[in-house]
Structures are given as structure tokens and as C-alpha cells.
A and B are shown apart, each in its own frame.
Chain A
Amino acid sequence: MFDAFLQGFTLVFQWPTIGVIVLGVAIGAWLGAVPGLGGIIGLSILIPFTFEMDPVPAFALLLAMVSVTATSDTIASVLLGVPGTAASQATILDGHPLAMKGEASRAFGAAFTVSAFGGVFGAFILAVSIPLVLPIILAFNAPEIFMLGVLGLSMVGSLTGGSVLKGLAIGCFGVVLSTVGTGDTVPIPRFNLGTDYLIDSLPFLPVVLGIFAIPELMELALKDTSISRVPKDQAKGGGILRGIKDAWVHKWLAVRCAALGSYIGILPGLGAAIVDWLAYGHAVQSAKDRSRFGQGDIRGVIGPEAANNATQGGALIPAVAFGIPGGVGVAILLSALMIQGLRPGPEMLTKDAHVTFSMVWTIVVANLLVAGVLMFWSRQVARVAFLPGHLIVPGVLFFVFMGSWLGGASLGDWVSVIFFGILGYLMKRSGWSRPPLVLGLILGDIMENKFNIAWRVHDGWGWLDRPIVLIIIALIVLTIYLSARGIISTRRQGAIEQGEGRERNPLVSLMVTAPLLAFFVWAPIESAEWPRSIRQFPATFALPGLAFVLLIVISEMRAVRGAVIEHAGLGAAWREAREKALLKRGVMFFAYLIAMVLAMLVIGQKLALPIFMYLYLRRWGEYSRRLSGAYALAGYAVLVVFYEHTLHLFWFQALLPEWVIEVAPKGFPTWLF
């Protein structure tokens, strides 16, 4: 075994493999940093090129690219409050507040250090625990995975910021949303509003980008500020070195979270998407002083970042050794490796162990390399935080809209991103924590699937007495107890109107509560006729959701009455609420976005997006024609070169481009439109 370990090492450092790793790292670093792109898109770009390559460099290219996205995705999470990929959603909770305090460099220093550590540690922990991998996978059947989902959901308590009721209600909403589309057991489309767009599921990217990115960008646009609210010369203690020191101080947290990440990565179906939330929850619960979480506590960055890189190695070993991939990314990777001639099976741990170890080494090298490079650059990258917000908004919006489009290549994606953008904005402005929605959306899907299987296999609830299930139940009880204690102690310290889910504005909050109430009433009615296996789950979560919302309505009506009395009249109270939430300019912002989408229907995406960028810079940022024009042209170039010629996107079939294709002579570059 040790021979194979060394042989794998030499394989990796041979030419061209090492060169290919550098290339993979460069591509992966970029894809991870841009919101809406990520490893899976990278795989679809790179796989065709690997057909002509030898197996080891081919594996190395793909693996290096995929494994570093979980490091570079921190950049968007910290700077923009937008998850760079699904793996770094939890990082935004404390990473972005750090950037707002002018401490982006510090967050990067800590994140890149623990990412590199997590990646290396995760790879090795798996290399050592290979004999345990299969027993673990086989011990976690449908009931256990379902209960792990419940455990994940119980983390909602640590993510709710101010109001627990609101967190629970929005978590239920996320779970019900996860059931949109065709059920697994009976192929009948659910809640699809008669559209093809929702026939499979509500795509994940438009929801996440809409709910997180749009509100943060609006913040920059409406308040005319830079990401860092603190000017550069006043920002203190934000250096990279301080971040690296932070990582050292909290090394045991990083070790625990990396171990958590690599073992959760083994479990098929849970994968990278949930690991960062579990790690964040763990960071909060294991901390003595929790009052800083959500407002820039470095531990909130260290936990998830150590875990999400460790997951990559964790997901790989069961894929090559047993043909059981842990998540979508690994599944694509596996299918690409199989075309290359890889045979997943026990030989990968015996006869071909050197190939498996060359993969482990690739992950190690790629992780170290990317951390070094990003560390070196992070001073420059962190400067973005001090740029005027108006320069950032159109560029990021561009990637947000194009990233959403990758969800389903449908107009519905743009409708979704705006819809969830509006929802996210209202939620942010009125004390609704957003992470529970995403958590519900991710977990709901897996939980329903596993619940149905558990139900059929064990004829109902027969699985409740399984030992691992009982252990997880105990963990759930403990989690809820710890969160409850945390919330009570935070409350004693007095209300903080900062951080996720803490802003108070009852009148604006009603604009979230009312549609949510309608949704929870509609969902059970809509699902009444469906077969049990696809009705049970959404109905089970809609009913408590309804109860929570009703309780919220009661408490909010009381708060509204208080506000009306305080301002001597509803009109005055409303004016105050509107002012506080910047509603007027907010409406204007969305009017711009909607106008852009409407224009897109006529002139197509390749023209509508650059025109929007130009107009935004001229009207909101008051920049010169030259700068705005150059910015917009750059956007157009990215659309044509990257999205058209590299990704081969399906564009919206708008009137103008369709007409051009109709009338253009053969050989005319129709892709310009």
C-alpha cells in the first residue's frame, strides 16, 4: 500500500500531469470565484478535451479543477455576500460582514489557510480510513439519511438570527418549494403552475442567486456605498496574516470541521451542499461566546471553509472504489473517468491503488497550489471591497443573471431570480433570515426521496428503532436544546439590529407574511388529489408552516399597532417603514431589472445585458460614456466568447436574433446576436 502511495506521488509530478494540474487549478479558481459558475460547469467544458488525453493527466485536470472551486468560491461569498458555489453558502453569514467592516483580507487569509488544510486533511483522512468507507456507506440507509436531513434542518435554530418563528416558517417554505416538479415515485408534476419550466424542479441557482445576491447588490446600489462600509484608511486589523493567525488560534475547530466534511462527503446524496451548513452550525454551537456570529465572527468562516474542501476527497474514494458517487459533481467526474477507462471497483484499492493515490495527491497538490496563489493575490482582490459599489453592481448582476440562466436555460430562470430577489430583499429588510429557505430547499429534496424509500421498505414507521436513527435523534434533541439556549442568552444581552435576520420592520415584514400565508393555504389544497407518496411530504411541511405564519401574523399585527400608535396614524407609520427599507429606490431598482428582461424578449440576451450595464452605470453611477461603454463592451465580449463559444448556451429565442438567423446569408456570424 505504501508503495502505491509513493507511486501515486511520482505519477502526479510527471510531465505533463503537473502542468495539467496547474491549468486545472487556474480554471477551477476562476469558475469558483464567479457566482453561478462552478465545478460542474467546468467539467462540461473540459470533458471533451480529456478524450484525447492519457488517463492520469485527464483525471488530474478534472480533479484539480473541481477540487479548487471550494477554495476560490470564498471570494464571492466574502466580498459580495453571494455564494460562489453551493459549497460556500454558509461562509457568507460571517464572511460578508467581515468584508463590510473592511476586513476582507483577514477573512481570505483564514479561509484559504483552512481550505488548504481541509483539502489535504480530507484527502489523507480518507486514504487512511478506506477500510471504513464501505461499512459507513452501508450503515446509512434511507432512514439514516432522512434523519441526517432532519438534523440538518434542526440547524435552522442557529441560523435564524432574531426570530425563531420566522426561521421555522421560512424553512418549511423551502422544504415545500423543494417538492416542486415531478415526484420520484410517481412521475406527476407538482406545483408546476402548468409550466414546463417547473416540470422537473425549481432550479437551485436562480433561487440562491436571487435571494442572496440581489439584496446585497441593491444594498450597494441604493445606499451608494462600497462593500466595505469603512473607508480603506480607517479599516483596521484586516490583514491576511491576521487571518492566518486566526486559523491557527481556531485550529481544532478546523480539524473537527474537516473531519466532519470528509465523512459527510462519503454519504451519497448529502454531499457538499449541506456540509458547510453543518460545519457552521457546529462552529456556532461549540463556541462559548456566540454574540458575534452573523456579524463577522471569523469562526463562522473557518468552520465551513475547512469542511467544504475536505468533502471533495471524501466523495471521491467511494466513487472510485465502489462506484458510489457522493454528489452530482463527483458523479460527472466518475462518468468522465469511466470513459477514460477507469473501472470503479475493489481493484482501485489493490491492483490500481497507485491510480487512486495519484488522485489523492492531485487533490493535495491542487489545494496547496490554489491556496498559495490566492493568498498571493488576495491583497489585490480584497481591494474590490473599497471600490465604489456602482462599479460592482452591473458586473455581478451580469453573472447573476447568466448564472441563473444555467439553471434551466429558460425565461423562467430570469423570472425566478427576480422573484426571489424581491423576496430576498423584503426578507432582509424585515427580520427574515434567508439561509433556512436554502437549507429547506436543499434538504427537502433528499429527505422526501429517502423518507418515501424508508416508508416503503419498512412498511411505515418501522425504521424508527434503528440504532443510528436513535443516535441521530439524540443529536437533533441536543442541537435544538443548544440553539434554544443560545437564542435565550443572546436575547438577554439585548436586541441587536445587525446581521442576518435582525432588522425590525413589521409593516414591510407583512409583505412577506401575507404571500407566505397564501402559499401555505394553497399548497395542501393543490396537492389534495395526488397519490399519497408524492402528497404526504409537502403537506406535512405546509401545515406547520401555516401554523408558524399564523403566529407571526399575530405578533406582527401587535407590532404594527404599536408602530401606528407611535407615529400617530397608519400613513405616517408606513412612510417611516418605507423610508427605513428604502422601498422607493428598491422599486426603481427592480423596475430596471424587469425592463431589462422585457427588452431581452425582443433584442435577446447578448444585447439586453450590455445595454443594461451601460444604462445602469450612466444613470445610477453617473459614470462617463467612455467608461460605461467599455464596461458594457467587456460584458458583451464575455457573452460571446465565454457563454456562446465555450459553454454553448441555449439562448432565449428572442425576436431579433431569430429574425437574424432567418434572413442572414450562410456564413454570416449570427452568433453576434
Chain B
Amino acid sequence: MKTKTFTAIALGVAAVALSAPPAQAQYFKGETVKLIVGFGPGGTDTIARFLSQHLEKHIPGNPKVIVQNMPGAATMKAMNFITHKARPDGKTIGFNPFQVAAQLAGQPGMRFKYQDLIYIAGLQGGPGMVLARHDLAPGGVKSASDLFKAKGLKYAGRNPIHGSDVNAMITLDLLGVKYDYVSGFRNVPSIKTSIQAAETHFTGFSMGSWFKNLKPTMADKGIIVGLYHLDVMDTKGNFSPDPRYKIPSFQQVYKKVHGKAPSGPTWDAFKFYTSVTFGGGMRIFAPPKTNAEAVRDLRIGFKNAATDPEVLKRMGDAIGQVMKYIPVDAGEKQLKELANVDPKIAKFWKDRIASFQKQ
């Protein structure tokens, strides 16, 4: 019996070695893969739960895939766990947003560097966007330049390392909008209520939240307007607007306001941030030194699940946006860039985030 199993494994390995699809992959057969999400419900958790059902079909060996929440410290708790405590057998992997700002700022409590983990897959989120209350300026806010007419603007945000805030606030700074940063909101609903109650005035959100939650409940009623969305960067580093949004892109707005393309140290830092994150989205990491067979099968599973047309069709409905699969080579290239960050850019981010913390 044992020899038979062994032969089966050997055959399986041989089949892979011959680069055939691993029809008899055994590594994950009968196992459970846990996706560790560093937040409570909503957002990342919803994406992970949605994907988990499809991963079961696509990871060779068809393991059970479950989501476990380990909320805390802006995913640091979950990712510290993945780095230092999770067994490197591929059965426990992290499914979280890519908190590059935390790493650049040297976040206290962060006990890992992304480049030390094993990249499994990435999911590029739709570009973030900035929205504001419609009644901030006389006659209503129609475009971002109307914000210059308003005084005492309050930006509702989470914390200075949160992707949506990083993207939104640096572009607002580039445009030259003046505002107070009200941090500490914990989730989309709390920001939403605050803005709806006119307690705060504008914020940055992800594409999923916009299309799934904010647009139907607030924008379509004329309470808020979308000002601009961030341009999408492709794997070659070129920016372009995202056709899914019906609102202008940041660079289009910038050109209209300032008459030229953005430049300077803030712009360079933002460009670097975008090039290593593609604006945001999820990254799936396995612990350092994870079993090679497991890594291979997980990468296959995520790739096939995240590019399956059936999955993509349902994704838009379930999470409000279709996320784009980031292949292993592109993802690893970003990690290398992050590891070799220009010290000037690293210092810019460190100082920027420290300046918010003094407030």
C-alpha cells in the first residue's frame, strides 16, 4: 500500500517535471488551506471568502480552502504570524492588502519585510478614487478644482499607512487642495455615515466600495460626487485612465488645474509607490522557506482561479470590481524594486507618514 502511494507521488512529481498539468497532484489532496486575512468582515475578507470557493476547484489536489480572520494592527498581526509562526507547508498563507507604506515608514510592530516572504499571487484592485460631498461649493462640486473654493475641508480616513488614504492624500497634496486629516475611521460604513451626515467632507475609496456600496446608496442620489480616479499603471510602468470609471483620472485633472503633467519629488515618490503596488489590491504570501511543491500548486491554483472567466464574471457582482491577476514574475519584480528602494524615496515616505502621526 505504501509503495503504491509512493509510486503515485513519484508519478505526480514526474508529471509536473514534464511540465504537464499536474493531473495527479497529491500535495494538497485531503488537506485544508487557510487564508489568513488581517481584517474583520468586509473588504478584504469578502474578496478572500469569494475566492476561497473557487480556489478549492483550482488548486491541484482540491484542498478545502477556508478563510480565517486575524484582525489587528493594519494586517501586521496576521503577517507577523505568517512570517514567524505559520508552518511553511503552504497550508497557511496570508491574503492581505499590500501595505508598502508601512514598510517604507518602518512601522513599529511590523516584524517582516515583504521581500522575505514567498510570493504566491497578486490581485490588482481597480484604481482607487476620491469622492466629495456635492454641496461643498456654491452651485455644487462638479470637479476637483471646485474644492479650492471650499474652506475647512475634513478628509475622513483610516490611518496614514492605509492604501486608500496614501493614494488619495498624496494626489490631493499634488493638486494643492488644503484639508484636515481626520483619521481613525475603522471601515467603509463608518466613513460613509460620517460623510453622509456632513461631519466630514471627502475621502478616498477603493473601486469595489465605490461601485458596490457608495455609488448606489449615495452618488446616485446626488449626495456625493466622484472627483477623480487614479490612473492605472501597467507592468511596463505606463499610466492610463481606467475605462470602468465615468469620472476623469487624476492626471487629467492635474493637467486641467496646473496646465502641465505632474513632476517633482512628491510625484516621484508617488510613482515609485504605484510601480511597486500597482495602486493596491491583494497579495498572497506564503511563509519563508515554504515547501516548493506547495508553492507551485498554490501558484497554479491562484492563477487559474483568478483568470477563470466564470470566476471573473461573478467577481464583479460579489465584490464590486474585477481584480486583475498579477503573475509571479511581475510580482517578484515589484518585491525586488521594493527591496532596493532609493533611500531618498524611502526617506520621503518615512517623513510624510511621521508628519501625520504628530497631528
A residues with CB within 8 A of B: 44, 47-48, 51, 137-139, 141-142, 181-182, 184-189, 192, 196, 199-201, 268-269, 322-325, 328, 331-332, 334-336, 338-339, 341, 343-347, 408-409, 449, 452-453, 456-457, 531, 533, 648, 650, 653, 661, 665-667
Contacts and interface: CB of A to CB of B under 8 A. Distances in A.
Pick the 6 closest A-B CB pairs, nearest first: A200-B72, A184-B184, A332-B41, A182-B73, A456-B182, A331-B41
A665 B2 contact: yes
Contact of A185 (B41, B67, B184): B184
B189 A268 contact: yes
B72 A335 contact: no
B297 interface: no
Contact of B42 (A185, A334, A341, A533): A334
Interface string B179-211: 011111111111011101101100000000000
Contacts of A334: 41-42
Contacts of B69: 44
B189 A325 contact: yes
Interface in B57-93: 66-74, 76-77, 80-81, 84-85, 87, 92
A189 B73 contact: yes
B349 to A, nearest CB: 14
A268 B34 CA distance: 30
Given A182-B74, A199-B73, A452-B184, A268 B190 contact: yes
Given A196-B77, A199-B80, A182 B72 contact: yes
B118 interface: no
- Classify the interface of chain A: helix, strand, loop or mixed: loop
Contacts of A51: 53
Interface of B: 2, 5, 9, 32, 34, 40-42, 45-46, 49-50, 52-53, 66-74, 76-77, 80-81, 84-85, 87, 92, 102, 107-109, 111, 154, 158-161, 180-190, 192-194, 196-197, 199-200, 212-213, 216-217, 221, 317-319, 356-359
Given A331-B40, A449-B184, A665-B2, A339 B49 contact: yes
Nearest to A143: B199
Contacts of B40: 328, 331-332
Contacts of A48: 52-53, 66
Contacts of B5: 666-667
A336 to B, nearest CB: 7
Contacts of B221: 346
A457 B109 contact: no
A339 B197 contact: no
10 contacts: A187-B108, A196-B81, A328-B40, A331-B187, A331-B189, A334-B41, A339-B50, A457-B199, A531-B359, A667-B5
Contact of A338 (B46, B80, B197, B200): B46
Given A268-B190, A338-B318, A456-B154, A185 B197 contact: no
Nearest to B38: A200
B317 A335 contact: no
A173 to B, nearest CB: 22
A199 B109 contact: yes
Nearest to B189: A324
B141 to A, nearest CB: 19
Given A188-B109, A196-B81, 19 more contacts: A44-B69, A142-B199, A186-B183, A187-B109, A187-B161, A196-B111, A323-B217, A335-B46, A341-B318, A453-B184, A456-B182, A456-B184, A457-B199, A457-B200, A531-B358, A531-B359, A650-B34, A650-B68, A667-B5
A323 B192 contact: yes
B5 to A, nearest CB: 7
A346 to B, nearest CB: 7
Given A181-B72, A186-B357, A201-B72, A653 B87 contact: yes
A188 B358 CA distance: 12
A334 B213 CA distance: 12
Nearest to A201: B72
A642 to B, nearest CB: 15
A184 B185 CA distance: 7
A323 to B, nearest CB: 5
Contacts of B9: 666
A537 to B, nearest CB: 11
B154 A457 contact: yes
A649 B194 CA distance: 37
A661 B67 CA distance: 23
Contacts of B213: 323, 344
B154 A187 contact: no
Contacts of A341: 317-318
B279 to A, nearest CB: 21
A137 B189 CA distance: 11
B32 to A, nearest CB: 6
B72 A199 contact: yes
A667 B8 CA distance: 13
Nearest to A200: B72
A44 B70 CA distance: 13
A185 B154 contact: no
Contacts of A650: 34, 68, 92
Nearest to B214: A323
Chain A CB count within 10 A is highest, among B73, B109, B161, B200, for B73
A142 B194 contact: yes
B237 to A, nearest CB: 30
A177 to B, nearest CB: 16
A269 B68 contact: no
A138 B189 contact: no
A343 B359 CA distance: 38
Contacts of B216: 343, 345-347
Contact of B45 (A184, A335, A449): A335
A456 B77 contact: no
Contacts of A138: 193, 196-197
A186 B158 CA distance: 9
Contacts of B34: 648, 650
Contact of B74 (A187, A322, A336, A666): A187
A648 B68 contact: yes
B102 A187 contact: yes
A661 B92 CA distance: 15
B304 to A, nearest CB: 18
A258 to B, nearest CB: 25
A199 B111 CA distance: 11
